Structure 1
Amino acid sequence: MTAQALSHTETPTEPRRQAARPSDQENAPLLEIRGLRKRFDLSGDFLEQLRFKGGRLVRHQEFVHAINGVDLSIRRGEALCVVGESGCGKSTVARTVMGLLSPSAGEIHYDGTRIDDLSPKALLPYRKRMQMIFQNPYASLNPRMTIQQTLEEPIRLHHPDWDRERVTAKVREVMASVGIDPEWGARFGHEFSGGQRQRIAIARALAVDPEFIVADEPISALDVSIQAQVLNLLMDAQQERHLTYLFITHDLAVVEHFGTRVAVMYLGTVCEVAPTRTLFATPRHPYTQALLSAIPRLEDDRPQPIRLTGEVPTPVNLPSGCVFHGRCPHAEARCRREVPRLVAQADGSQVACHGVEEGRL
């Protein structure tokens, strides 16, 4: 995504966000994630876990530690962007928040109510308030259903008392709002381009009038020119419908223009959380600094990118202490034995780094 393609959307976003909600509600967290952990078992069934070791039969288990103690809060009306390398746990956080995965530990609170332990029936009202846009528009639409049927399905589920005329009118309205001709409802998903399919997926998310949307890399599978159109559509929908976003992406140029705040993840942990302008102007965590230094920029005097040594550790065997210490040029003994916690800074950011906490960085 180029800055030029998005420059016309940068100026109005912040003021319109601030005007969307009353000031007393803007700062109230809509979603809170506390100590979230998710691990996936690699060991197979019970018999596959049995091993002979030292002449004894022992049980051996292995896990992928995808999320490791994530704490995040999202305020009403904002767009929190979660960034990081592939495999850092961004999408796992998104799917766990939406209830598609069950957390191994921790809590998820929505509008003051804990939702991660609710039954499917008790969770149904929150399904209407929380919707998700998936990464791959070619896989997220049912190939056996027309677009009309695809968009009618969530409306009928959450509004069983609506008659056919009202459902049809709602489908036409939401299709028009995302730039899709309502007359195309009789077509199937394979008849549309990737950008059109993603617009349909956005329409499906908006069909039940949610207040919170999780967007899991919704533009990564699209051409650059189409990415700008879809981003503009998401920003317009946010301002018109007072939406709150959890936006998962690896494109830092998108983050700079779309996000209200940014959370940087590395190997299942949150390294830094900061307002977007603060993060891009003065990144504090060494990993954030390396990440931002890799952005291509047309500047003669730009500094050389920070080159990290070593490889990303495996999430099966996590390193002790700070998970970034093996690649960090500022790591010391404390970093190797003690897990850092997010500490609030004077500029409004939160940084999980012993070096920053001790004043070394």
Structure 2
Amino acid sequence: MTNAATKAGTQPGTQGRDSGALLQIRNLERRFDVDAGFLESLKFKGGRIVRDTRAVHAVNDISFDVHKGEAVCVVGESGCGKSTVARMVASLLPPTAGSIHYEGQRIDTLKGRALLPIRNKIQMVFQNPYASLNPRMTIGQILEEPTRYHNRGVSTGEIRDKVTQVMQSVGVDPNWAARYPHELSGGQRQRIAIARALTVDPQFIVADEPISALDVSIQAQVLNLMLEMQEQHGITYLFITHDLSVVEHFGTRVVVLYLGSICEVADTRTLFAAPKHPYTKALLSAVPQLKDDRPNHIRLKGEIPTPIDLPSGCPFQTRCPQANDRCRAEKPRGVTQPDGSLVACHAVEEGRTEPGVESGMKEAV
């Protein structure tokens, strides 16, 4: 477990940065203003006009580390803040608060040309290969553009050689360079998207649900390709997904998010063998198991609260069957467990989790 795991009663990340981590995220937050204009913020309350601005609380004070060679998976339901975290790490979106350090250098405050060295090291693969590739450019032009931009002074011949090499490495015929994206299938397009990220020889790739838009038969091919790239080039991944069956085979460590807050951080094997947070248990219970003839699904009651008006205390308390008065009043802090996992849950801290649910989960997993 990395230093993202904290001692009992401490907030994740407040004990200082881990010098051995490649990426360090500390107390990261992101807000999106709902009422952008002045007139939109004016409300009529109590018989008078007042100014009341609202914001979407997308990411709320999260901290974790990523070490070199890892594939850290960030999981959770739609709207939990996974993609927002990915875009902040890739420097496509500035955080509202907190910090992001890469190789010891703070990168969330960099702008303009100061970001160029970081762009060489951190690349992103987007979710939808049908939207992330320019339809007006050929495959060759799409791959040559970042190569030329990040390698000024390199000859055209060297750029084309690099593009050919990258296309071959992802299993794409270099003769496809003259084709346009609409002439390729979804899996072929995502291979091109991965090749585009590899043209600048990155150390770190942020993959935002890279297989969710693909057919199931193609998903395994893309995942195997990403694993091959990890072995051949030593690439580190921050992998955003909602598919826990993918996490089990691809990830080395898992960060579970709910409403923009961290519920649990654990090694993949530990998380699947012994989940601790009630939300993590509910997520894993929804994963289909061929060997499970008596599935023990945990059905959560109620709807996910709006991120504009977050509930007090624990963000999961409105749907948690084990919530009590403390859960409704006090937000839990991350506590390191004996097996090294980090769990932010009062019920786990106080040892009042339901034995029946946990035993059922072990059978299901």
Question: What TM-score, normalized by structure 1, do the two folds share?
Answer: 0.91
Q: Does 1:342 align with 2:315?
A: no
Q: Is the 8 A contact 1:67 1:92 kept in 2?
A: yes
Unaligned runs of 5+ in 2: 1-17, 354-365
Give the aligned CA root-mean-square deviation in angstroms: 1.3
1:85 corresponds to: 77
1:321 to 305, 313, 334: 313
1:48 corresponds to: 40
Measured at CA, do residues 27 and 43 of structure 1 come closer, stay the same or move farther in structure 2, by a change above 3 Å?
Answer: closer
Q: Does 1:153 align with 2:145?
A: yes
Q: Distance in 2 between matches of 1:346 and 1:326?
A: 28
Q: Which amino acid aligns with 1:244?
A: T
SS in 1 for 2:83: helix
Q: Distance in 2 between matches of 1:302 and 1:243?
A: 40
Q: Does 1:170 align with 2:162?
A: yes
Q: Distance in 2 between matches of 1:334 and 1:32?
A: 31
1:16 corresponds to: none
**Per-residue deviation, residues 176-228 of structure 1 (Å, max 9, x unmatched):** 00011101101111110000000000000001000000000000011111000
Q: Distance in 1 between matches of 2:46 and 2:71?
A: 54
Mapping of residues 1-361 of structure 1, within 5 Å: 28-300=20-292, 302-361=294-353
Q: For residue 55 of structure 1, report the CA deviation from its aligned partner.
A: 3.6
Measured at CA, do residues 241 and 200 of structure 1 come closer, stay the same or move farther in structure 2, by a change above 3 Å?
Answer: same
Q: For residue 27 of structure 1, report the CA deviation from its aligned partner.
A: 8.9
Measured at CA, do residues 72 and 302 of structure 1 come closer, stay the same or move farther in structure 2, by a change above 3 Å?
Answer: farther
Q: Distance in 2 between matches of 1:54 and 1:295?
A: 49
Measured at CA, do residues 27 and 225 of structure 1 come closer, stay the same or move farther in structure 2, by a change above 3 Å?
Answer: farther
Q: For residue 48 of structure 1, report the CA deviation from its aligned partner.
A: 2.0
1:19 corresponds to: none
2:15 corresponds to: none
Q: Give the stretch that moved more between structures: 94-103 or 236-245.
A: 94-103
Q: Distance in 2 between matches of 1:305 and 1:128?
A: 44
Aligned pairs, number: 336
Unaligned runs of 5+ in 1: 1-25
Q: For residue 247 of structure 1, report the CA deviation from its aligned partner.
A: 0.2
SS in 2 for 1:148: helix
SS in 1 for 2:80: coil
SS in 2 for 1:107: strand
SS in 2 for 1:341: coil
Q: Is the 8 A contact 1:272 1:350 kept in 2?
A: yes
Q: Which amino acid aligns with 2:75?
A: V
SS in 2 for 1:29: coil
Q: For residue 308 of structure 1, report the CA deviation from its aligned partner.
A: 1.0
Question: What TM-score, normalized by structure 2, do the two folds share?
Answer: 0.90
Q: Is the 8 A contact 1:27 1:75 kept in 2?
A: no
